[in-house]
């Protein structure tokens, strides 16, 4: 009664089931790998945010690259804002996805080096071809704190570094590019300003990074493995049903007519 498994239809169905099982198992392991990666990143971010502030020059220097272990670390710096050489970063959104600018202000340290400071978000106004009105930071020498961030690149952000932009407007926050523009030693990376806080919340402060939803990847992994386990169960259920249907068809088949007596 199982000879039907050699039919074209059942051979194809069986091959599909055989291929689906390892594929779903692999997808489950891939999702588990994503879960572990996201969990590790969340732990790294949490550790960085909880770490005590350190002087910025203990973690970065001109031409130095910010690594994942230094990212989001709280740093301090002493100096003054140089608003005359301030720029804005185009096509940035606020917490409500409104399009505007990030305000990037050079912060001249006491030793003459420059730290790039992202002071927050302001709305776009008009045609976006002229330099927008930017709220001024505190004047004079001060101590700031901020979260250290790596340079932005097209590869990492997906943002095209367009050329020919209006004066004092950029697409990416990149310390090497700003070092050329400022003709000064610029510390690698930049900081997102925490204190001093802006007056009247303008520029709008940039919030803390959120956790990646690692639990979702864990749930997907379990889901794929359950699917893999369900495939042979479903295949066997279909086989049994086919066998039962064939047996029923045999039972109800009318008997062949008896030859008439002569």
Q: Give the DSSP per-residue string, 106-147.
A: EEEETTS-EEEEEEEEEE--TTS-SPPP-PPPPPSSEEEEEE
Helices 214-251 and 8-50: crossing angle in degrees, nearest 10, is 160
Tokens of 30: 């891939």
pLDDT at 58 over 80: yes
Q: Please tell me the distance from the alpha carbon of residue 71 to that of residue 78, in angstroms, as a whole number.
A: 20
Q: What is the mean pLDDT of the chain?
A: 89
What was the pLDDT predicted at 108? 97
Where is average pLDDT lowest: 73-87, 125-139, 171-185, 248-262? 248-262
Residue 68 has pLDDT above 70, yes or no: yes
What is the number of H-type helices and E-type strands within the chain?
4, 8
Question: What's this model's pTM, rounded to 2 decimal places?
Answer: 0.75
Going from the C-alpha of 144 to that of each of 9, 104, 108, the distances in angstroms are 72, 14, 12
- Answer yes or no: are the C-beta atoms of 147 and 207 closer than 8 Å: no
pLDDT at 186 over 90: yes
Rg of the chain taking only CA atoms, in angstroms: 32
> What pLDDT was estimated at residue 172?
96
What pLDDT score does 259 carry? 59
Residue 253 — pLDDT band, cuts 50, 70, 90?
low
The half-sphere exposure of 251 on its side-chain side, counting CA atoms within 13 A, is 6
Largest Cα–Cα distance in the chain?
Answer: 127
């Amino acid at each position: 009664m199982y000879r039907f498994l050699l039919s074209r239809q059942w051979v194809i169905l069986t091959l599909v089931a055989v291929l689906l099982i390892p594929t779903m198992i692999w997808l489950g392991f891939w999702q588990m790998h994503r879960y572990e990666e996201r969990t590790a990143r969340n732990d790294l971010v949490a550790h960085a945010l909880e770490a005590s502030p350190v002087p910025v020059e203990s973690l970065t220097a001109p031409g130095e690259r910010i690594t994942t272990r230094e990212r989001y670390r709280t740093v301090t710096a002493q100096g003054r804002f140089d608003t005359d050489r301030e720029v804005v970063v185009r096509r940035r959104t606020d917490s409500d996805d409104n399009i505007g600018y990030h305000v990037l202000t050079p912060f001249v340290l006491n030793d003459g080096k420059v730290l790039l400071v992202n002071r927050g978000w302001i709305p776009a106004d008009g045609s976006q071809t002229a330099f927008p009105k930017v709220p001024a930071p505190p004047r004079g020498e001060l101590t700031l704190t901020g979260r250290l961030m790596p340079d932005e690149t097209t590869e990492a952000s997906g943002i095209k570094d367009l050329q020919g932009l209006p004066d004092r407007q950029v697409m990416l926050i990149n310390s090497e590019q700003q070092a050329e523009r400022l003709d000064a030693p610029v510390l690698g990376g930049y900081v997102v300003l925490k204190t001093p806080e802006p007056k009247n919340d303008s520029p709008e402060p940039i919030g803390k990074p959120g956790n990646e939803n690692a639990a979702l990847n864990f749930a997907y992994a379990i889901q794929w493995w359950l699917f893999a386990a369900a495939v042979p169960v479903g295949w066997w259920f279909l086989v049994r049903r086919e066998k039962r249907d064939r047996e029923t068809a045999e039972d109800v088949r009318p008997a062949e007519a008896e030859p008439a007596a002569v």
